[in-house]
Chain A
Amino acid sequence: MKKKKALAGVGIVCVFGIALSACATQSDMSDLRAQMDSLSTRVSKVETHSPGSGGGGSQLADMETRLDNQKLRIARLRDRMERINHRLDQLMNKIETQNAQLSSLGKAGANGPKGPATPIASPPGKGASAPSPAPSAVPGVAVVKGPSQPTESPDMIYHQAYSDYQQGHFDVAIHEFGSLVEQYPDSHLASSAVFWEAQSNYNLQHYHRALALYDAVIHKYVGSPKKATAYYKKGQVYEHLNDRKLAVHNYRRVLELFPLEQQLGDLAKRRLSRLDE
């Protein structure tokens, strides 16, 4: 029944179409075709420009791909930068070790009967060239005085101290990091040593001592790469000391001063929202 109705409908449309075409002239038909063409062109143009259309979608996909590529490039650049920094650190360590060796050789030579009258090289650290005991970098930090002439390079002391830190020997690590800062206050490892000394105190729950050392990282070593972390850690310490105001202040400092430290920023935001609850 439905089929019959459909066939009848198609028939009527055909008859109507034939009648119409008989009425319309050739020029009318060509005009109509031209209008149809222009309309379809407009429709396609609109489709291309509208954001929800397929063309827009493909543009968006292109943009996303480009963005992904850029992200990848940035990541690769970061990777290269990290590697270069790492190499630089290694080179600095080597230079300091060699300087320390040269210095000790020079002094040994100077003390000997036929040694040269002047030292061969001056090490970068004050401690190495000035045997008089330097005061501890941070007040209240006990440092056991060793022999006036440093026998180990800052690199060696640092790695031993860090190794002790990683094995949970925080008391020993505190002593070793402190000794590095005392002997080589100008070493490029000094700021890191103070930071890890602070970390050791933090892990031992010596919070006031840790605060003093984090402050030293922030204020004494202006270019320290651990500065942002020191602010965050200060926030953590103040949380442990139940000083909400100062904890909030330090987390905010992380956000204000180090907008590029994404991980720390997110952690600080999380802590701030927790403290607001």
Chain B
Amino acid sequence: MVTKTEESQVNRLENQVDNGGGGAWEYLCLVRKLKVRRSDKVLKHGLSILNDPKKRSTLGPDEWTLYEQVAVAAMDCHTLDVAKDCIKVLQKKFPESKRVGRLEAMLLEAKGSWAEAEKAYSSLLEENPLDQVIHKRMVAMARAQGNISGAIEWLNKYLEIFMADHDAWRELAEIYASLQMYKQAAFCYEELILSQPTVSLYHLSYADVLYTLGGLENIQTAKKYYSSTVELTGGKNIRALFGICLCSAAIAQLAKGRSKEEKESPELHSLAALALEKDYKQRAPGKLPLLITTLKSLKIS
């Protein structure tokens, strides 16, 4: 996770470098350390160092790290010629390296020659079955080819070992949700909530999935997660507010015939509606009538 101070530091350095204030190498180091994705900048400033023999030689052995970083950034920006040059230099320096092998496989992938890239990745994976990056490349490649079931298979294989990697869980959750496999997606979102219980986005997505699944119990649960989102965001999340209204409407309809359960928070939906109205009044007064009719059609009481 990138903290706020780190992010502002990156931005400040980026600004400084962009305006010709120097410090390009520090910027690149920071980007590498925080693993943020600023490929265009990395490509630009990294190349300016690499193309200047004097600057390059002051780096010492870090020069090769920079070549790697620029190569990856170049592939991300689809300037494959640059990437190819960088990899060639590295290949010359470290002929047997697996790390360079990985870059070569990535270049194949960037070119779109899937079969060859997959072959290269598989052979690398055979030598080192615990390489997380290659596992993730495999998933990404399967997704890029539209082979969703393949991506799921790879992700499951990856999560079998690296089961604490929440980014992978998130990817899997999104894939399942896109395939309308909501039960599986709900499981993944639960896993995400467990690993980072204060991230409101996971609560929101989990609630969305539960609401989509339907059924009285699920919708009641969904409403609870929408409320936790409201609590975590301080009521700023419009989607969560709408969610509460929709859930309340659905619950009222589903529970109509049955004995009325004691409601825990009878005011919640009306409060959510009021909050929505207030927000619309402030930010989009033109759409207020639309909102009011929508809410009216949902009106539960």
| A and B: interacting chains | no
Chain B residues in the interface with A (C-beta under 8 A): none
